């Protein structure tokens, strides 16, 4: 009788644990799990009442119920950790996405300032009289970097075609003239004045957008631009190293930069139609500008006598 009693207890324990395990593994609420396990315990108890030999004691039922609770807590803890991991992952992804513009802006500022400082040192401190050649080297390196990144699959660029080149040619000519004028202005005036005078570009661009695209700016924007004009005039008047040639090159650079922005906006729709994808991203525009500028730069190097200067 004792052996039958133990065997029946073990059998009931195994069958009920399998039933409880299935209940735990299902996606039901805690109240439903509790009702299920109590029903299982009551079934065991009723079964035990049918036969004195299979009687399950209160201590055994309590031990089985404790085992169920421990398993349920473990599963709830695992599910909670999964939810926490998902929330943490979404939070980290959101913060990383928000930091991308900040990182990009900081990188642009650092690279832009570094380029201006480098050009100023080369053109003024070392008295390098080949600004177009310097532009050629920089545009060639930019083209090479973009091509290598595209081959490695890090960036995507549009495939060039003659229709796109013809549409982009006016933009590229203004782009080259803008770079050349910027090089010569740096040779004659200091970086601080170049930075101040570049603000005139925003005013010219706003005026061009008003007449060409009927885009009106708010009064606050015009007020800010008026302050820029005052700062540029004040800087020019108090500039001890005033150079008329350098200021002429810089004013020309401001006009060309504004013209570049307006022309770019003017031809953008037509340029997008000239691509297979119907779009033109920033990397493709960088490749177009720098690649198409190389033949023009070579021609100007010979026209301006920079080849003889470099060979001497």
Q: What are the boundaries of each domain within the chain?
A: 1-127, 130-311
pLDDT digits (tens, 9 = 90+) for 108-153: 889 888 888 888 888 887 888 888 999 999 999 999 999 999 999 9
- Confidence band (pLDDT; 50, 70, 90) for 286? very high
Does residue 214 carry a pLDDT above 70? yes
pLDDT over 90 percentage in the chain: 30
Q: From CA 184, how far away is CA 94, in angstroms rounded?
A: 45
pLDDT digits (tens, 9 = 90+) for 9-40: 444 444 444 444 444 444 444 445 445 544 55
Does residue 87 carry a pLDDT above 70? no
Top pLDDT among 251 and 101 is at 251
- At residue 305, the pLDDT reads 87
Does residue 243 carry a pLDDT above 90? no
Contact call for residues 268 and 106 (beta carbons, < 8 A): no
pLDDT over 70 percentage in the chain: 68
- Confidence band (pLDDT; 50, 70, 90) for 97? low
- At residue 144, the pLDDT reads 96
Contact call for residues 236 and 247 (beta carbons, < 8 A): yes
Section 171-185 average pLDDT: 94
- Confidence band (pLDDT; 50, 70, 90) for 219? confident
Top pLDDT among 86 and 102 is at 102
- At residue 255, the pLDDT reads 95
Does residue 2 carry a pLDDT above 90? no
Q: From CA 193, how far away is CA 216, in angstroms rounded?
A: 29
Does residue 222 carry a pLDDT above 50? yes
Section 43-49 average pLDDT: 47
| Mean of all residue pLDDT scores within the chain | 76
Lowest mean pLDDT among 14-18, 31-35, 186-190, 196-200: 14-18
**Residue 277, φ and ψ in degrees, nearest 5:** -85, -15
Section 183-195 average pLDDT: 87
Q: CB atoms < 10 A from the CB of 140, how many?
A: 15
């Amino acid at each position: 009788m004792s052996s039958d009693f133990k065997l029946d207890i073990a059998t009931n324990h195994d069958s009920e644990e399998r039933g409880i395990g299935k209940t735990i593994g299902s996606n039901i609420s805690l109240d439903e799990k509790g009702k299920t396990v109590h029903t299982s315990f009551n079934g065991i108890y009723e079964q035990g009442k049918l036969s004195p030999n299979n009687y399950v004691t209160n201590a055994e039922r309590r031990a089985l119920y404790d085992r169920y609770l421990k398993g349920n807590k473990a599963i709830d803890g695992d599910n909670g950790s999964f939810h926490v991991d998902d929330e943490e992952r979404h939070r980290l992804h959101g913060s990383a996405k928000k930091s991308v513009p900040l990182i990009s802006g900081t990188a642009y500022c650092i690279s832009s300032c570094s380029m201006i400082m480098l050009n100023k040192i080369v053109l003024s401190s070392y008295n390098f009289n080949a600004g177009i050649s310097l532009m050629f080297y920089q545009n060639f390196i930019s083209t090479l970097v973009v091509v290598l990144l595209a081959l490695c699959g890090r960036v995507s660029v549009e495939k060039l075609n003659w229709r796109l080149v013809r549409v982009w040619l006016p933009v590229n000519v203004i782009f080259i003239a803008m770079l050349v004028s910027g090089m010569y202005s740096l040779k004659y005036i200091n970086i601080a004045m170049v930075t101040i005078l570049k603000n005139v570009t925003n005013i010219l661009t706003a005026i061009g957008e008003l007449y060409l695209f009927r885009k009106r700016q708010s009064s606050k924007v015009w007020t800010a631009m008026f302050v820029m004009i005052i700062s540029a005039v004040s800087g020019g008047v108090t500039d001890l190293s005033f150079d008329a040639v350098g200021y002429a090159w810089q004013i020309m650079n401001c006009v060309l930069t504004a013209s570049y922005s307006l022309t770019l906006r003017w031809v953008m729709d037509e340029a997008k139609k000239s691509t297979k994808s119907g779009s033109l991203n920033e990397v493709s525009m960088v490749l177009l500008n720098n690649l198409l500028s190389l033949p023009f730069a070579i021609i100007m190097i010979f026209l301006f006598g920079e080849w003889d200067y470099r060979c001497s």
